[in-house]
Amino acid sequence: MWRDTVLVAGKDLRIEARSRVVMHQVVPVAVLVLVLFAFALGPDRAPMIQAAPGLFWVAVLFASVLAVQRSFALEAPDGARDGLRLSGLDPAGIFLGKTAAVTVQMVILEVVLTAGVVVLYGSHIRSYPSIIVAGLAGTAGLAAAGTLYGALAAGLRVRETLLPFLFLPIAAPVLLAGTRAWQAALGIGAGNTGSAGDPWIRLLLVFAAVYLALGVVIYGPLQEAS
């Protein structure tokens, strides 16, 4: 399973390195979302700083839908999806590999977005470890749940509208927890110290663990749906 994970993740990332779809299309859209929020909330900095954690995670949520769709669009041309099924790869490995590739791409996107939030909104980061752990855990969870639903929707004619409708409600706890964790890390909100984010980070870790485990178990049977 791990060998197959590395193989699939490597393949997905290599394609991304060649085609640069996520970097050149998804990241700019996410940054654009931040800018648009500024239009909506500004020009005073105060509301922007207050809202920054939530806006960041909303942007991440929407970008993850795009990233997952891209991950499965890789297999869309010409029977490649059948190819993956027939390839002899362990389905759990395919799931973890795709999840890993999406996670890597999303982490890069989040670094850019974080820089964007600091620059555009003027937020101050008080606790780097919290930001990093929250970001990784939340992203991994989103990638796992997204990949699972992405596989379900792949190949369906309604996939573009179905995936967000299925995925975003599931992702709501990540939005909630991520925002709270970020608020603690940025020192926003009444009585929020750095450690107030801890239960939220734990929730993000639980979410990620649960969906990674579920995906590993369920991806095989799911793949068999034609």
Partner 1 sequence: MWAAMASAVLLRAAVAMTGRFPALAGVDLRVDEGEAVLLTGPNGAGKTSLLRVCAGLLRVTSGSASVLGHDVVDDPGAARREVALLGHAAALYDDLTVVENVRFAVRAAGADVARIDAALDRLELGGRVRRTPVGRLSAGQRRRVALALLVTRRPELWLLDEPHAGLDADARVVLGEIVSEVVAEGATVLLASHEPEESWPLADRVMSIVGGRVVEERAVASTRRPALPDQLRAVSGGAHVA
Partner 2 sequence: MSPTEPAVAPWSPATTWVVRSLGIAAAAALAATIWLGLWVTPPDEVQHNLVRLVYVHPPIAWVALYLAFGVAAVSSVLWLWPRTRSRFWDRLAASAVEVGVVFTALTLITGSIWGRPTWGLWWTWDARLTSTALLLVLLLGYLAVRRVPGDPDSRARRSAVVALVAAVDVPIVHFSVDWWHTLHQGATVLNANLSPTIHGSMAWTLLLGFVAFTLLFAWMLAIRYRVELLSEHLEDSELDVALHERWAEGTGSLPGEPGTALAHSGGPA
Residue 95 touches partner 2, criterion: CB under 8 A: no
104: how many CB neighbours lie within 10 A of its CB?
A: 18
Nearest distance in Å: CB 194, partner 1: 43
CA diameter of the chain: 57
Nearest distance in Å: CB 1, partner 1: 13
| SS3 state of residue 190 | coil
Which positions ≥6 away from 30 have C-beta within 8 Å? 59, 60, 62, 63, 109, 112, 113
Cβ proximity to partner 2: between 13 and 214 the closer is 214
Nearest distance in Å: CB 77, partner 1: 6
Nearest distance in Å: CB 97, partner 2: 19
* Distance, CA of 134 to CA of 61 (rounded, Å): 14
Near partner 2 by CB under 8 A, which window of 42-50, 61-69, 88-96, 218-226?
A: 218-226
Query: In which element (H, E) is residue 32 found?
Result: helix 27-41
Return the one option of partner 2, partner 1, none that residue 35 interacts with (CB less than 5 to 8 A, by type): none
Which whole-number Å values give the CA distances from 27 to 18, 50, 169, 201, in the listed order? 16, 23, 22, 25
Return the one option of partner 1, partner 2, none that residue 160 interacts with (CB less than 5 to 8 A, by type): none
Cα-Cα end-to-end distance for the chain: 23
Nearest distance in Å: CB 158, partner 1: 15
Residue 77 touches partner 2, criterion: CB under 8 A: no
Q: Tokens 């996107």 sit at which residue?
A: 109
* Distance, CA of 71 to CA of 191 (rounded, Å): 41
> Which of 78, 157, 158, 190 is the binder for partner 1 (CB under 8 A)?
78
Cβ atoms of residues 185 and 194 within 8 Å: yes
Tokens of 97: 């590999």
Residue 25 touches partner 1, criterion: CB under 8 A: no
Chain positions contacting partner 2, by CB under 8 A: 145, 148-149, 152, 156, 158, 162, 165-166, 169-170, 172-173, 176-177, 180, 190-191, 196, 199-200, 203, 206-207, 210-211, 214, 218, 221-222, 224-226
Contact residues toward partner 1 (CB under 8 A) are 4, 7, 11, 14-15, 18-19, 74, 77-80, 82-83, 85-89, 220, 224, 226
